Chain A
Amino acid sequence: GAVVSQHPSWVICKSGTSVKIECRSLDFQATTMFWYRQFPKQSLMLMATSNEGSKATYEQGVEKDKFLINHASLTLSTLTVTSAHPEDSSFYICSARDPTGVVEKLFFGSGTQLSVL
């Protein structure tokens, strides 16, 4: 079964509204979670690395104020797309790494398709 739960699976919203996406690790405590974005027919692009209890580290070109990441507990990280616009429409995927720190134990959520009208 899934070890990382991501919700919602899809969301449609009006331009200007904010959307929150949740990523939960179900069977382990994840000290680090990652957020990726994928445009149609393109690869996954890392947006930010989220560490529990500290500020997220954003990749170059990703707006911190636009994509708010909160990792308040060892099992939950949230990505909030603030004042969403049509160009934010994309497929967002989270991943979580278990506390042993072994790279292979990187589990992915099922993704969230965001459509901004």
Chain B
Amino acid sequence: AQKVTQAQTEISVVEKEDVTLDCVYETRDTTYYLFWYKQPPSGELVFLIRRNSFDEQNEISGRYSWNFQKSTSSFNFTITASQVVDSAVYFCALAGYSTLTFGKGTMLLVSP
């Protein structure tokens, strides 16, 4: 069975602080995909990144960066210089062929 754990239920930071959202996963599959989605208050899911299990290169996209470490089954997400607009719930997800397993989400509150 697949499992995704986001231990941080809520994080509060002040604008311009850096923040890291943790994601730990469990799977027996040798090939899998990991995702991060952003869910703003309006409710829709916004795709942020996909990483496959064979690609452990870290990725940076603007203020966002992701650290994938297969040895610790973690796929952490860092926002640098956070902004108020980053306030949302962030979900980490693990995918097999036909379905996604979501973590419980981390609510990020960025105050001015």
Chain A residues in the interface with B (C-beta under 8 A): 32, 34, 41-46, 49, 91, 93, 95, 97, 101, 103-104, 106, 108-111, 113
Q: Which residues of A contact B43 (CB under 8 A)?
A: 91, 93, 110-111, 113
Contact status A110-B100, CB under 8 Å: no
B residues engaging A (CB < 8 A)? 33, 35, 42-45, 47, 50, 91, 95-105, 107
A97 to B100, CA, bound (A): 11
Q: Which of B33, B91, B105, B107 contacts A103 (CB 8 A)?
A: B33
Report how far A86 CA is from B101 CA in the complex, Å: 26
Q: Bound state CA distance, A32 and B101, in angstroms?
A: 16
Chain B residues within an 8 Å CB radius of A91:
43
| A104 touching B33, Cβ below 8 Å | yes
Shortest CB–CB separation between residue A50 and chain B, in angstroms?
11
Q: A49-B99, A97-B98 are in contact. List 14 more A-B contacts (CB 8 A).
A: A32-B98, A41-B105, A42-B104, A43-B105, A44-B45, A44-B91, A44-B102, A46-B100, A91-B43, A93-B43, A95-B100, A103-B50, A104-B33, A111-B43
- Whether the pair B50, A104 counts as a contact (CB closer than 8 A) is yes
Could you say which residues of chain A place their CB within 8 Å of the CB of B100?
34, 46, 95, 103, 106
A-B contact pairs, 28 of them (CB 8 A): A34-B99, A41-B107, A43-B91, A43-B103, A43-B104, A43-B105, A44-B45, A46-B100, A49-B98, A49-B99, A93-B43, A95-B100, A103-B50, A103-B95, A103-B96, A103-B97, A104-B33, A104-B35, A104-B50, A106-B95, A106-B100, A108-B45, A108-B47, A109-B44, A110-B42, A110-B43, A111-B45, A113-B43
